Chain A
Amino acid sequence: MSLMELRQVTKSFGAIHALNGVDLSIAPGEAIGLMGDNGAGKSTLMKIIAGNFPPTTGEIRIDGSPVHFTRPLDARDNGIEIVYQDLALCDNLTAAANVFLGREIKSGIWPFRSLNYNAMYQKAGELFSELKSETRPRDLVKQMSGGQRQAVAIARTRLSDPKLVLMDEPTAAISVRQVAEVLNLIKRLKSTGHAVILVSHRMPDVFEVCDRVAVLRRGTKVADKRIDDTSPEEVTGLIIGAIEAA
């Protein structure tokens, strides 16, 4: 059974139709590359799944039952975690503080419930080492490389053991070496049974880590194929419209 299923999702902003009847389903441990040109509707689709706004029509099903998200926390409660393109990190806090932001571990008795630094450092350290990242829990995010920052954002999604991780352009603004690091992180997520939706412009990344690729063009899903059955050339053609649909 699919983990998450979108059925005939449409989204209109006034007269603009950002999405027209998109279907998409994803199984546990599966990674889907969501591709499309600027304005194709990728971000809109992401935001609907992330709970930033509801679809105009259509429905989202998780484990077979319909859900309604009105804010990002609803999506998180339903096992969906998002890694935003800008990563949404607080530069002035440590890696561990960012991982636990809004979900701090506390100990003691009210009203003196205190942040439990040791527990958070230790747990964050475990998450980073699970991700095979050399990010240090006590470092300030401000001083980190792009790859390390990405690891912090991904580690944060693992606190709640989500079913589905949404990643928005995780490799857009980082160096080649760090791209390899991030792709490894994605593979690690898959190998532990998490479903991943990867929004990316970078064809090599999608072909390296994803099992399927879905292509959006002007708000419509024009292709949804297994990576093994397609090629970068075909996907490029689909994105720019040289190939109508596949």
Chain B
Amino acid sequence: MTDSTNTPQDAHDKTAQTPVDHAAIDDSITSRREVSGIGAIIRTQPFWVFVAILTIGVVMTFVSDAFLTERNLFNITRNMAFFGIMALGMSAVICTAGIDLSVGSLLGLCGINLALVLQAGWSVEIGFIACISTAALVGLINGVLIAYVRLAPFVVTLGMLAMARSIAMVISNNKMVYEFGPDQELFEWIGGGSMLGVPNVVWVLTVMTLFFLWVWRYSEWGRWVIAIGGNAHAAKLSGIPVERVIVSVYMVCSICTGIAAFMFIGYTGSATNGMGATYELNVIAASVIGGANLMGGIVYALGAPIGAALVELIRNSLLLAGIPALWQQFFVGLFLILAVLLEQLRNRGGK
């Protein structure tokens, strides 16, 4: 304990260097935030994408009379909602610096399973359980291979993309299903109907977005996922069960896709095994445009619906502006690159 006598001396030196007393510093230290409320919002990617959406919206009202009609807005919000629901889960995966390429195929597989269960005469609840169980199982397989066997997420989910699609083809015997058993009417209303003038699927997206807002800000699981994305090694040393959390993240992503599949089949009124092909690209694009960083550690709940809204808005606007549909993917790609570029620029500006 030879050095313990130094302690008061050091404390004294410290106070001598600082002009204010410690109590005051402590107060100001604990009350300060990294940035103020509005400043924090302005710094986020979803905010700027939202500004872009409003801008495109304003421009479109001059370009086309059809744009601001109730019918068109109804269609835009409904179409974007399927991708938005999937992007909520994808954002979680991307936050861990992972990727899930299998969501498009999984949508097809969940859809076929669901349709076959309903066609066999089961109720819509059983259909829902079958649909979500399929999704959860696929997510579990993805997650275990990635977290425990330590295979690259890209490879595992690329393999699952092929496998899930193939299984969908096998079990559907390559046939379309459009008979949904005794609950057909209810089932098609859930996916394709609306309440208070808003499509049901948009309600689902809204509720899920609010839930994820809570998850990312207030849940322990959310905090752990963000920590893993920031520094998985540090998270592990802090006692976070990293492997289990990663498995759960892939399951959450798949379950979101399962929910989207349930709504989507009800909306389209038929299930084919080709459903959802290449959707993974739109879902990843929506997540990234909404601010998810492929390097991990960043996630916004609002990013998913906002990113999905922009993608759908581009599609809709080109259509209404009379630009050939062949240009759609070009503009989605362009906005994807612009979104990533924007984020890079903001980060450089910050340093």
Interface residues of A (CB under 8 A from B): 29-31, 72-73, 76, 82, 84, 87-94, 97, 101-104, 106, 112-115, 121-122, 125, 128-129, 132, 134-140, 143, 156, 184, 187-188, 190-191, 208-209, 211, 227-228
B240 CB within 8 Å of chain A: yes
Q: Evaluate whether A92 and B298 lie within 8 angstroms (CB atoms) in the complex, with A72-B237, A132-B11, A187-B10 already known.
A: yes
The residue in A29, A82, A87, A101 that gathers the most chain B C-beta atoms within 10 A of its C-beta is A101
Contact with A along B129-171 (1 / 0, CB 8 A): 0000000000000000000000000000000000000000000
Return chain A residues, CB-CB under 8 Å to B73. none
- The docked-state distance in angstroms from the alpha carbon of A82 to that of B236 is 13
In the bound complex, do residue A102 and residue B238 qualify as a contact, i.e. CB atoms below 8 Å apart?
yes
- The docked-state distance in angstroms from the alpha carbon of A73 to that of B239 is 6
In the bound complex, do residue A90 and residue B298 qualify as a contact, i.e. CB atoms below 8 Å apart?
no
- The stretch of B23-31, B61-69, B268-276, B304-312 that contacts the partner chain: B23-31
Find the B residue at minimum CB distance from A27.
Answer: B1
In the bound complex, do residue B230 and residue A91 qualify as a contact, i.e. CB atoms below 8 Å apart?
yes
In the bound complex, do residue B223 and residue A115 qualify as a contact, i.e. CB atoms below 8 Å apart?
yes
Contact with A along B218-231 (1 / 0, CB 8 A): 11100110110111
In the bound complex, do residue A184 and residue B14 qualify as a contact, i.e. CB atoms below 8 Å apart?
yes
Q: Evaluate whether A187 and B3 lie within 8 angstroms (CB atoms) in the complex, with A128-B29, A134-B29, A136-B29 already known.
A: yes
What's the minimum C-beta distance from A42 to chain B, rounded to whole angstroms? 18
In the bound complex, do residue A92 and residue B297 qualify as a contact, i.e. CB atoms below 8 Å apart?
yes
Return chain A residues, CB-CB under 8 Å to B7. 187-188, 191
B186 CB within 8 Å of chain A: no
In the bound complex, do residue A88 and residue B238 qualify as a contact, i.e. CB atoms below 8 Å apart?
yes
In the bound complex, do residue A89 and residue B4 qualify as a contact, i.e. CB atoms below 8 Å apart?
no
Mark out the residues of chain B between 1 and 39 whose CB falls within 8 Å of any chain A CB in the assembled complex: 1-4, 6-7, 10-11, 14, 22, 25-26, 29-30, 32-34
The residue in A92, A106, A228 that gathers the most chain B C-beta atoms within 10 A of its C-beta is A92
In the bound complex, do residue B239 and residue A90 qualify as a contact, i.e. CB atoms below 8 Å apart?
no
- The docked-state distance in angstroms from the alpha carbon of A162 to that of B33 is 29
B233 CB within 8 Å of chain A: yes
In the bound complex, do residue A93 and residue B227 qualify as a contact, i.e. CB atoms below 8 Å apart?
yes
Q: Evaluate whether A129 and B10 lie within 8 angstroms (CB atoms) in the complex, with A102-B239, A104-B223, A113-B220 already known.
A: no
In the bound complex, do residue A90 and residue B22 qualify as a contact, i.e. CB atoms below 8 Å apart?
no
- Nearest 10 Cβ contacts at the A-B interface: A90-B230, A125-B30, A102-B238, A92-B230, A114-B218, A88-B234, A92-B297, A102-B239, A101-B238, A191-B7
The residue in A94, A115, A227 that gathers the most chain B C-beta atoms within 10 A of its C-beta is A115
Return chain B residues, CB-CB under 8 Å to A184. 10, 14
In the bound complex, do residue A29 and residue B223 qualify as a contact, i.e. CB atoms below 8 Å apart?
no
In the bound complex, do residue A190 and residue B235 qualify as a contact, i.e. CB atoms below 8 Å apart?
no
Mark out the residues of chain B between 185 and 224 whose CB falls within 8 Å of any chain A CB in the assembled complex: 214, 217-220, 223-224
Find the A residue at minimum CB distance from B227.
Answer: A90
Known: A90-B231, A102-B235. 4 other contacts (CB 8 A): A101-B238, A106-B220, A139-B32, A139-B34
A-B contact list, 25 entries, CB within 8 Å: A31-B3, A72-B237, A72-B239, A88-B234, A90-B226, A90-B297, A92-B226, A92-B229, A93-B223, A93-B230, A101-B238, A114-B214, A114-B219, A121-B30, A122-B30, A129-B26, A129-B29, A135-B29, A136-B30, A137-B30, A140-B34, A184-B10, A188-B7, A190-B3, A208-B3
Return chain A residues, CB-CB under 8 Å to B26. 125, 129
Mark out the residues of chain B between 229 and 258 whose CB falls within 8 Å of any chain A CB in the assembled complex: 229-231, 233-235, 237-240
Return chain B residues, CB-CB under 8 Å to A72. 237, 239
- The docked-state distance in angstroms from the alpha carbon of A97 to that of B11 is 27
- The docked-state distance in angstroms from the alpha carbon of A191 to that of B1 is 8
How many residues of B are in contact with the other chain, CB < 8 A?
Answer: 38
Find the A residue at minimum CB distance from B33.
Answer: A138
The residue in A73, A90, A156, A191 that gathers the most chain B C-beta atoms within 10 A of its C-beta is A90
In the bound complex, do residue B239 and residue A125 qualify as a contact, i.e. CB atoms below 8 Å apart?
no
Find the A residue at minimum CB distance from B296.
Answer: A92
Could you say which of B1, B10, B34, B231 contacts A143, with CB atoms under 8 Å apart? B34
What's the minimum C-beta distance from B208 to chain A, rounded to whole angstroms? 15
Return chain B residues, CB-CB under 8 Å to A209. 3
Return chain A residues, CB-CB under 8 Å to B238. 88, 101-103, 156
Q: Evaluate whether A211 and B1 lie within 8 angstroms (CB atoms) in the complex, with A88-B238, A106-B220 already known.
A: yes
Return chain B residues, CB-CB under 8 Å to A82. 237
- The docked-state distance in angstroms from the alpha carbon of A29 to that of B219 is 38
Find the A residue at minimum CB distance from B237.
Answer: A88
In the bound complex, do residue B32 and residue A115 qualify as a contact, i.e. CB atoms below 8 Å apart?
no
What's the minimum C-beta distance from B98 to chain A, rounded to whole angstroms? 16
Q: Evaluate whether A191 and B30 lie within 8 angstroms (CB atoms) in the complex, with A91-B230, A101-B240, A102-B238 already known.
A: no
Q: Evaluate whether A115 and B297 lie within 8 angstroms (CB atoms) in the complex, with A97-B223, A128-B29 already known.
A: no
Find the B residue at minimum CB distance from A77.
Answer: B239
Return chain A residues, CB-CB under 8 Å to B240. 101-102
Return chain B residues, CB-CB under 8 Å to A140. 34
Find the B residue at minimum CB distance from A118.
Answer: B30
Return chain B residues, CB-CB under 8 Å to A132. 10-11, 14, 22
- The docked-state distance in angstroms from the alpha carbon of A113 to that of B25 is 32
Could you say which of B3, B219, B234, B298 contacts A115, with CB atoms under 8 Å apart? B219
